[in-house]
Amino acid sequence: MELKQLTNVRLIDVGLSLSTKEEVIRHLVRKLDGEGNLYSAESFYQAVMEREALSPTGLEAGLAIPHGKSKAVKSAAFAVAKLARPIRDWESIDPSNEVELIFLLAIPEQEAGSTHLDLLAELAKRLARADYRKRLQQCRTAEELYRALDGEKAEAVAAPAGKTIVAVTACPAGIAHTYMAAEALEQAGREIGVAVFVEKQGANGIEDRHTEERLRKAEAAIFAADVAVKNEERFAHLPVYRTTVAAPLKDAKGVLLKALEKAEKEGKREYEPTKETMPERVSWQTEVKNAILTGISHIIPIIVAGGMILACAVLIAQAFGLQQVYDTENSWLWMLRKLGGNMLGTLMIPVLSAYMAYAIADKPALGPGFAAGIAATMINGGFLGGMLGGFLAGYFMKWLKKQLPPKGAFSGFISFWLYPVIGSLVVGALMLFVFGKPVAGLNNALLEWLNNLSGRNAIVLGAILGVMVSFDLGGPVNKAAYTFCIGAMASGNFIPYAAFASVKMVSAFSVTAATLLFKRYFEEYEREVGKSTWILGLAGITEGAIPFMINDPLRVIPSLCIGSAVTGAIVTASQIGLNVPGAGIFSLFVLQGAPLWKAGVIWLGAALIGALISTVLLVATRVQKLKAQQR
């Protein structure tokens, strides 16, 4: 971006004699107003001062970048002041900073995140370079400073041949500090002879993602971040030095030296590529599966919290005879009930769609994904509509990013206006006017089928779910059953998940019972496995039985599946429901469909019956195997 496009000589003052931050900002606001960039100078001034109250805009080396986005701004622009005497009390990242060069950015509210992002990022990159700062600070006239803004282009500098460090920078806003910290680390690396490669995790998603080769060669990693680092598992083989995003702005060399010191002490392990290293190479089947699981993983906390709040409201009403309070609008118990209900009924589907889309096309797909989920809720599309909306939003945005990549001066406009607006309109329209009736019809048919399950049909469904849960103990078949049960829960039918949760205990209980009660038939390592699987079973974790299964899958898998089928059939036939996933044994307190004691006896009893059957089969098949080996 050419910085000169958003300013002119009349917006630049050199040798200005002002002594406070407020005076400087008011002076620059008047400059912008005089050039016709503002509707209201006072409103914009208030917007800038509100931003000043959030975090320091003073940086280091005499720099400050105050800014504000407001409806009072007609067109994006910036004004510059170079002071005759520095201001010592301007709040800055570097406490010793004495501000003498100020850039005031004026951004229209409708361009927040577009011009705002690009301009800040470009300024941050340039001002982080000592040579660029020095050139601006040496200017003696406004004309000279104006020419110096774009007078020299930054040339690519070859990485030195010494040690290599990979870094990630990220700040809450994902704008100025993210880019300035990156530039500071790279510049410091050049000065001390270390190759520093920085991945920016900012408002545009992940930029300059580290390659597999770079991660393999690196000696250490630096996380200069005030938010969680994405895909952190890529750096598992490296010593990681963690610090704030502001630290490189104060002492980038010191940060690098501390990282190298940590690398010297700890050393690095052998690099093992992860699926996150080159995400663009995954097959579409894997991408679809990952999108579904990402969406589900993000709605689980919502379902758990919403379900527990709703269950607590019901239990309080029943335990203390407060049913009238529970039903009275705007009462405290009614409000708790509505809170839990809205988390399940209003929030869940949009979050599912948004994060499925995010898994496919990153941050630009979040807005369209939420729009698709809201549309799915409007048409009563339920879980199926939410999944369809997530796929539509994800793949449409992936296509749009290829057709119209965010490059050049309009990259911010494309990323933060065109992508979300066009994506939301297109995907929302498709959901509402094209797929609405078919999806709603399919969802209602599925829900009606689930609600009408009884007798033989319910038993068959429960048995199938039981087999799927224990067939691969947390693998793809298990995950398919899980997805179906969560979808049924999202549509208001809680019976399948109750069966799923009960069956998850069968494999763990049966392995423990078989190996501890019939020790002579099992190896020492199998008995060791059995000692802990029952605890994992109480937590709803099936994977604990995998080591036992791997050694003899042809006998163990059918044994576990038969007992699990019986458990699933008992629960679904009894019409017991569960609307809180992942609660393990604590599910006993939130079961539905019968009085709590009765529901608990059926649900836990079904798991114990299934475990007893699987235990008998595990022992019988093991005895048969041992006899066959002795012949």
CA 117/CA 94 separation, integer angstroms: 23
Whether 298 is catalytic is no
Cβ count near 155 (within 10 Å): 5
In this structure, the strands spanning 164-170 and 195-202 are: parallel
Q: Residue 296: which residues within 8 A CB-CB, separation 6 or more? A: 352, 482, 483, 486
In this structure, the strands spanning 240-243 and 220-225 are: parallel
Write 433-436 long-range contacts (CB < 8 A, 24+). Answer: 435/381, 435/385, 435/388, 435/392, 436/375, 436/379, 436/381
Q: Which amino acid is at 478?
A: N
CA 295 to chain centre: 10
Residues forming beta bridges with residue 241, ordered by sequence position: 222
Q: Which amino acid is at 617?
A: L
Of the candidates 33, 99, 29, the one whose C-alpha atom is nearest the C-alpha of residue 61 is: 99
CA 51/CA 54 separation, integer angstroms: 5
Cα dihedral 396→398→402→406 (10° resolution)? 100
Whether 171 is catalytic is yes
- What is the residue whose two structure tokens read 């870094």? 167
Q: Residue 567: which residues within 8 A CB-CB, separation 6 or more? A: 462, 466, 499, 502, 503, 506, 606, 607, 609, 610, 611
Of the candidates 66, 63, 85, 81, the one whose C-alpha atom is nearest the C-alpha of residue 17 is: 85
Q: How many H helices and E strands in the chain? A: 25, 12
Catalytic choice (67, 116, 177, 210)? 67
Ranges assigned E (strand) in 26-87: 63-64, 67-70, 77-87
Catalytic choice (27, 116, 139, 171)? 171
**Which stretches of 404-523 are DSSP H helices?**
411-413, 419-429, 436-451, 455-471, 476-490, 495-503, 506-517
Query: Residues with catalytic annotation?
Result: 67, 171
